[in-house]
Chain A
Amino acid sequence: MPANSSVDLVWLFGPFVVYLVMLGVYYVWEGRREKRLRAQYEESEYAQ
């Protein structure tokens, strides 16, 4: 019997893989958002 055949590893650890991808997306997206907001803020400050 192959190891792990008794457990559906996809259902068990699949959510964790999805969460890891979500974390990566958040990290990249948040970094870009911060940059954009900072630029917008400085632009509006400069315009004033």
Chain B
Amino acid sequence: MPSSGLAGSAGAWVLGTFAAYLLILLGIGLYSSRLMDTVDDYVIGGRSVGPVVTGFSERASEMSGWLTLGVPSDAFGTGVMAFYNGLGMIPADLFAWAGLAKRLRKYTEIVKAVTLPTFFETRLQDDTGLVKGVSAVVLMIFEGGYVGAQIVAAGTLLEVLTGVEPLVGILGGGVIVVGYTMLGGYFAVAWSDYFQGAIILLAFIILPILAFTNYGLPFNDLASVGSSYTSITAGMTGWAAIFGIISYAAIGLGIPGNPHVMVRFMGIDEVKNIRLAALVAQLFMFVAYIGAGFVGLYALVAFGQGGIDDPNNVMPMLTLEFFPGAIAGIILAAALAAMMSSADSQLLVATSAIVEDVYHGYVNPNASQAKLVRYSQLVTLALGAASIAFAYIAKDTPIYTLVLDYAWGGLGAAIGPTLIASLWWKRVTAKGSVASMIVGTATMFLWTQLSALLGVLGLQSAVDASPFLSGLVGVYGLFPAFILSTTTLVVVSLLTRPPEGVDDHFNVFDKPLSALSSSESPTGAPEYVTDGGRDVSPKAVTETDTIRAHVDATDYWDEGDE
């Protein structure tokens, strides 16, 4: 249902600053891209990115559709329990920084990999191409789902601001996202992501403060709307409450499998900076999750239950309610730009999975660069079109659910167990990894359709009769998918032959990074080689290019940073 075009009532200031922000950003991007002729030019910029920006960008990639629009909408519909969105995410992110970041950074150095499919293939010594192929397909499916969700989010913003029909909003959002990616992602300059993340984070701090000055703490008002809104289990009891809390906690299981989080670890310039980056990312999360929760709760107080037709509109509506038009325009433009930036890298991760990892690495290793560029463009267009179609079909699903079920959860279940095992378990095998990816993906798909499936099979009434079973069926799919995927990984790995020489790799985890790059070291990596070919012009500056830039900076090795 189209909204009434809120910006119309908020005045021309909103649309004016909204458009001006995006135009200025585009102008700066185009100007700086003219100065950026070679990868090496980009390298210089890349090397100056410090731990604060790394930590910020690790979290800012999530600030797009899900945290900006999704979590407030969840709080609007659920009440205070939505604060539990951080229940699993925050500690899981800390564990990832503490237990995965350094190992992944060092191991990708040892096996000379800059993308996850290549890392898995080389780490697991798979010469069949199966690990790379299956992980690339998983990336294509679920990163495509991510792009679809970003398009819905971008469409929602356009809808709220202009009052257009959902179809027009989604098509507009889709054209903006795909067109922006085809142009080369001009906004994808490190500082602009940082800047946008900062604007949205500030909005999540200031919005609740402004609302507080108007309404005081929201809890008593919420209690008058309904007792479930102030219940930490959203009014659920027994198994339903337990599985409800498990569902929120299980969101954190997605962190190790999501490439846009892991690539930040792979691209860190100095390992000693990891703990500072972790500190920044974690503090960002505390503020963002609590702020996003309060935005949803205050929207409930301000607009009332049922006062917002589409829950995706909660954050933009509260922004327009409390901020002056010009500032609201900037915040919403920053949100849209962050979505475009995220969708750009997600679309390119999916594209590179197909073109670089599958086509170039598997089907036609001798493909010319011109052919690869052409195929990349075609695949980006095709994936973009598919994502727009997916976005339209899924337009009535909240962005919150869309991301968790069709992107975050799938990647977490399929890729996460293999990633953790690759860094911590010497015994993991390629066959175990492939089986785990297939089981994780299939479970995630099946679980999201489980209720419908049970209805078709006539089992729904039996499930409803048991509080445990109905709670289990309703649990977030990543929980069972992660467990089944991990179990499969362990069992199949134990039944198959592990790769050799892994002991040496694991022995160097406690050494500084500089030791791994030394040619005198027993496991020292030779001169760095990248996946896509370092001696050719890049198609676009992507996250992967940033990583290439980082690891290829020769001074970095000479400095011998830990």
**A: which residues have CB within 8 A of B?**
1, 3-4, 6-8, 11-13, 15-16, 19-20, 22-23, 26-27, 30-31, 34, 37-38, 40-41
- When distances are taken between beta carbons in the complex, the residues of chain B under 8 Å from A4 are 217, 219-220
Q: A37-B512, A41-B510 are in contact. List 11 more A-B contacts (CB 8 A).
A: A1-B220, A3-B216, A7-B80, A12-B80, A12-B232, A13-B83, A22-B91, A22-B94, A23-B282, A26-B98, A26-B275
| Contact among B80, B94, B227 with A26 in the assembled complex (CB-CB below 8 Å) | B94
Task: Report whether B216 and A19 are in contact in the complex, using a CB–CB cutoff of 8 Å.
Answer: no
| Contact among B86, B217, B222, B279 with A27 in the assembled complex (CB-CB below 8 Å) | B279
Given A3-B217, A37-B512, A41-B515, also A30-B90 (CB < 8 A): no
CA gap between A11 and B230 in the complex, in Å: 12
- When distances are taken between beta carbons in the complex, the residues of chain B under 8 Å from A27 are 275, 278-279
B211-222 vs A: 1/0 string, CB under 8 Å? 000001101101
B272 at interface by CB-CB < 8 Å: yes
Q: Which of A6, A22, A26, A38 has the most CB of B within 10 A?
A: A6
Task: Report whether A41 and B511 are in contact in the complex, using a CB–CB cutoff of 8 Å.
Answer: yes
Given A19-B94, A27-B279, also A7-B232 (CB < 8 A): yes
Given A19-B91, A26-B98, also A3-B515 (CB < 8 A): no
Task: Report whether A16 and B220 are in contact in the complex, using a CB–CB cutoff of 8 Å.
Answer: no
CA gap between A40 and B510 in the complex, in Å: 9
CA gap between A20 and B279 in the complex, in Å: 10
Among residues of A, the one whose C-beta sits closest to the C-beta of B227 is: A6
- When distances are taken between beta carbons in the complex, the residues of chain B under 8 Å from A3 are 216-217, 219-220
From residue B241, how far is it (CB to closest CB) to chain A in Å? 12
Per the 8 Å Cβ criterion, residues 270-292 of B in contact with A are 272, 274-275, 278-279, 282-283, 286, 290
Task: Report whether A16 and B90 are in contact in the complex, using a CB–CB cutoff of 8 Å.
Answer: yes
Q: Chain B: interface secondary structure? A: helix
Task: Report whether A6 and B515 are in contact in the complex, using a CB–CB cutoff of 8 Å.
Answer: no
Task: Report whether B562 and A38 are in contact in the complex, using a CB–CB cutoff of 8 Å.
Answer: yes
B69-99 vs A: 1/0 string, CB under 8 Å? 0000000000010011011001100100110
Among residues of A, the one whose C-beta sits closest to the C-beta of B285 is: A19
CA gap between A26 and B283 in the complex, in Å: 13
- When distances are taken between beta carbons in the complex, the residues of chain B under 8 Å from A22 are 91, 94
From residue A19, how far is it (CB to closest CB) to chain B in Å? 5
Among residues of A, the one whose C-beta sits closest to the C-beta of B514 is: A41
Task: Report whether B94 and A6 are in contact in the complex, using a CB–CB cutoff of 8 Å.
Answer: no
From residue B245, how far is it (CB to closest CB) to chain A in Å? 10
B223 at interface by CB-CB < 8 Å: yes
From residue B229, how far is it (CB to closest CB) to chain A in Å? 9
- When distances are taken between beta carbons in the complex, the residues of chain B under 8 Å from A7 are 80, 219, 230, 232
- When distances are taken between beta carbons in the complex, the residues of chain B under 8 Å from A37 are 510-512, 562
CA gap between A30 and B282 in the complex, in Å: 15
- When distances are taken between beta carbons in the complex, the residues of chain B under 8 Å from A15 are 84, 86-87
- When distances are taken between beta carbons in the complex, the residues of chain A under 8 Å from B510 are 37, 40-41
Task: Report whether A30 and B275 are in contact in the complex, using a CB–CB cutoff of 8 Å.
Answer: yes
What would 28 A/B residue contacts be, using CB atoms closer than 8 Å?
A4-B220, A6-B219, A6-B220, A6-B227, A7-B80, A7-B219, A7-B232, A8-B232, A12-B232, A16-B83, A16-B90, A16-B286, A19-B282, A20-B286, A22-B91, A23-B278, A23-B279, A23-B282, A26-B94, A26-B275, A27-B278, A27-B279, A30-B274, A30-B278, A37-B562, A40-B510, A41-B512, A41-B515
Nearest 8 CB-CB pairs, A to B? Answer: A6-B223, A30-B275, A6-B230, A7-B219, A19-B90, A7-B230, A23-B282, A11-B232
- When distances are taken between beta carbons in the complex, the residues of chain B under 8 Å from A34 are 272, 275, 562
From residue A21, how far is it (CB to closest CB) to chain B in Å? 11
- When distances are taken between beta carbons in the complex, the residues of chain A under 8 Å from B220 are 1, 3-4, 6
- When distances are taken between beta carbons in the complex, the residues of chain B under 8 Å from A1 are 220
B523-562 vs A: 1/0 string, CB under 8 Å? 0000000000000000000000000000000000000001
CA gap between A41 and B518 in the complex, in Å: 14
| Contact among A8, A31, A38, A40 with B275 in the assembled complex (CB-CB below 8 Å) | A31
- When distances are taken between beta carbons in the complex, the residues of chain B under 8 Å from A23 are 94, 278-279, 282-283
Per the 8 Å Cβ criterion, residues 196-231 of B in contact with A are 216-217, 219-220, 222-223, 227, 230
From residue A43, how far is it (CB to closest CB) to chain B in Å? 12
- When distances are taken between beta carbons in the complex, the residues of chain A under 8 Å from B84 are 15
CA gap between A22 and B515 in the complex, in Å: 30
Among residues of A, the one whose C-beta sits closest to the C-beta of B97 is: A26
| Contact among B87, B97, B283, B512 with A38 in the assembled complex (CB-CB below 8 Å) | B512
- When distances are taken between beta carbons in the complex, the residues of chain B under 8 Å from A6 are 219-220, 222-223, 227, 230
From residue B276, how far is it (CB to closest CB) to chain A in Å? 8
CA gap between A1 and B286 in the complex, in Å: 29
CA gap between A30 and B91 in the complex, in Å: 16
